Structure 1
Amino acid sequence: MRYLEHITTQSERWDNLAWRYYGDALSYERIIAANPHVAVIPVLPSGVRLIIPVISVTQTTSELPPWLR
């Protein structure tokens, strides 16, 4: 699996990171799971090195709805 590295800045939150990297604020669980060394607190301290899993979206034409084929 591929990963990106992110260094937190002041006032960053898990959901903000999920929105930034995945476009979905509710996808923060995979970021938390990839970073067991970081406490799960509402606001992250600055300067923490996080691993952001890269997710790949692959769809075949048959999986797409008819209007996107």
Structure 2
Amino acid sequence: MAHLIHTTIEGERWDLISWRYYRDVRQVPQLIAANPHAPNAPVLPSGLRLRVPLISRASVTQALPPWRRGDA
């Protein structure tokens, strides 16, 4: 699967990374699964290189309720 590399900064969290790349914090489990070397901790250490899987926009928006998709 294609991915980007993200290097963490001091105080960064999984949910912030998920929001930055996907605009959806529900993608945190996917980020954690793609990075078995990373600690599953509330705050990540700085300088950690993480894989950020590229996912289709459709897979993100289909998981949203209709009123959030913009098709309602």
- Shorter-chain TM-score: what band? 0.7 to 0.9
Deviation at 1:10, TM superposition (A): 0.6
CA-based RMSD of the aligned residues comes to 2.0
TM-score of the aligned structures, taking structure 2 as reference length:
0.77
CA distances 1:6-45 after superposition (whole Å, capped 9, x unpaired)? 0000110000000000001121110000000111000000
Name structure 2 gaps, 5 residues minimum: 60-65
TM-score of the aligned structures, taking structure 1 as reference length:
0.80
Instruction: Judging by fraction of residues, say which structure has more helix.
Output: 2
Q: What is the number of residues matched between the two proteins? A: 62
The structure with the largest alpha-carbon Rg is: 1
Runs (4+) of structure 1 exceeding 2 A deviation are none
Name structure 1 gaps, 5 residues minimum: 60-64
